[in-house]
A and B are shown apart, each in its own frame.
Chain A
């Protein structure tokens, strides 16, 4: 998209033109989504975060400094929204996995080529706390001090989360070469899900009976 075209779209969005908003949204959709996808646990969460981010873009458009690249501004908003989202939902996330520190003997990564979908799926499998730190450190290039301030955690927690994230990812990368043997895991998940649903339903029924 040309610079003039972009300025025209921004001007249209400032006038709350829904058509221009959609054009801008569409133009930056892929870029914004690529950021949100790696911070989120799945595609739906990512879309939620991205829309919250775009809402900030649309409502704060008059604050955008036109001397700087627009895409960088959007990217920063998406990242901050992702971090905020993670922070506000901290109470809902898995904070820790005790087996995360388990040591595996293979330090070397396989040479096989992993595509984008595989990699993003691996990142998304990380617990929220690990994923956020890994993104901020490994992808965005922040220091542990900066991450600690951003997330309101200690640098020690940041380092430990990064370590655990790497361990888990390495594990996944190494195992990705093998034949997937996930049927047992799936069965486990199903059992846990059925258990949770039945407990919730019994609680609901109890409440209704009350």
Chain B
């Protein structure tokens, strides 16, 4: 009975609804919006080309950055070394001769843990460890780093000074090595601790001499080495040392807040948004920095229906769409330092951002004669645009002290794809202000 009645219902609607073509009059405004769609379609091809251009631009920037990286890397390595070697040859020939055999004798890997131990631990631990003759393996990577640095010009660098000494320790450690000399080890470690401790302090001059003294103390005729090292050599050693330290990747964290203008297509009708973010930077060389992070951005904007390509609930009567989007912005940028003098540094950067649309609110306004009320829509976590936005920024940093600097960062974000539900061409430009905290080297320069 019920089944029959339901079928009757279906039939009622099927018959009543079908064949309704004649009931429906043609509306010119529907064709108008159809034409808009058709026009947009032909523009889409141009959009594809635009993406290709942007991609090519990014690739070129990355290539340039990598090229500069290698170029500056080579310069840093070669120049100081050469001068150092030259000076060595003229002045410190005998010193070099004395040191080198010691070093080569000490290269076996078994000796590394001992050295790393003395580098990584506190002074007290060091002395006690070495006094007991124990060998731990902590901080091996640090040691490996030191070992892996180019050989040239090395006897004078701090690291190599350490290496020489440490390997002396190493010789003392293994049981099969004949003279285990604790008297010799103890002062030696103390000296290492000294040099390590001094490394980050301003009075670095001491380091050189201490290194030399240590080397001298442990290589066989000590006096010949120390005497022949001149003040000039020490300076050059320092230059090498600082170059090496600067080449170490350094981490820093920035906390940034920004106010920016958001607009679709052009900045004619822009609205102000806010951004809060953290940024982690890795300084690869003195000039090249890679950074990533996360920012929470509020992006309000308004657009005409022509720029907004999602249908619902848009119609030919839509006059304006007001949007407010909460976005999680994950950038990946490369920047290159173009200016650095005193406390001021300026760098230029570029990269891509991924947008995760956390919340999108839209309000659709319709023409008055349509009699439609504004319609509100909220969309949560529906749209994400991986590497969908091109970043261009300039970065001005002013050092406050050795750890902190103030950052001013004008930036521009240009979409490579349509952003959000309406696939709009949402551009942002603004200035970020913040504080940068220099954490230091990843390889324990401390």
Contacts and interface: CB of A to CB of B under 8 A. Distances in A.
Of the four ranges (under 10, 10 to 19, 20 to 34, 35 or more), the interface on chain B belongs to 35 or more
B16 to A, nearest CB: 4
Given A30-B26, A47-B30, A89-B312, A196 B376 contact: yes
Contacts of B25: 30
Nearest to B2: A107
B311 A48 contact: yes
Interface residues of A, number: 55
Contacts of A18: 35, 38
B305 to A, nearest CB: 11
Given A34-B21, A47-B315, A92 B377 contact: yes
B51 interface: no
Nearest to A52: B311
Contacts, number: 132
B316 A116 contact: no
Contacts of A52: 37, 311
In terms of DSSP, what is the predominant structure of the interface of chain A? helix
Interface string A177-210: 0000000000000000100110010011001001
Contacts of B35: 18
A55 B41 contact: yes
Contacts of A38: 17
Nearest to B10: A138
A47 B26 contact: no
A83 interface: no
A30 B274 contact: no
A21 to B, nearest CB: 7
Given A26-B31, A109-B9, A33 B16 contact: no
Nearest to A208: B300
17 contacts: A30-B25, A37-B24, A48-B33, A48-B314, A48-B315, A92-B379, A116-B20, A116-B23, A119-B17, A120-B20, A123-B17, A134-B13, A138-B9, A166-B6, A170-B9, A204-B324, A207-B298
Interface of A: 18, 21-22, 25-26, 29-31, 33-34, 37-38, 44-45, 47-52, 54-55, 58-59, 85, 88-89, 91-92, 107-109, 114-117, 119-120, 123, 134, 137-139, 166, 169-170, 173, 193, 196-197, 200, 203-204, 207, 210
Given A25-B31, A107-B1, A169-B9, 20 more contacts: A29-B26, A30-B20, A30-B22, A30-B26, A33-B24, A48-B313, A48-B314, A51-B30, A51-B34, A51-B37, A109-B12, A116-B20, A116-B23, A119-B13, A137-B10, A138-B9, A139-B17, A166-B9, A197-B374, A207-B300
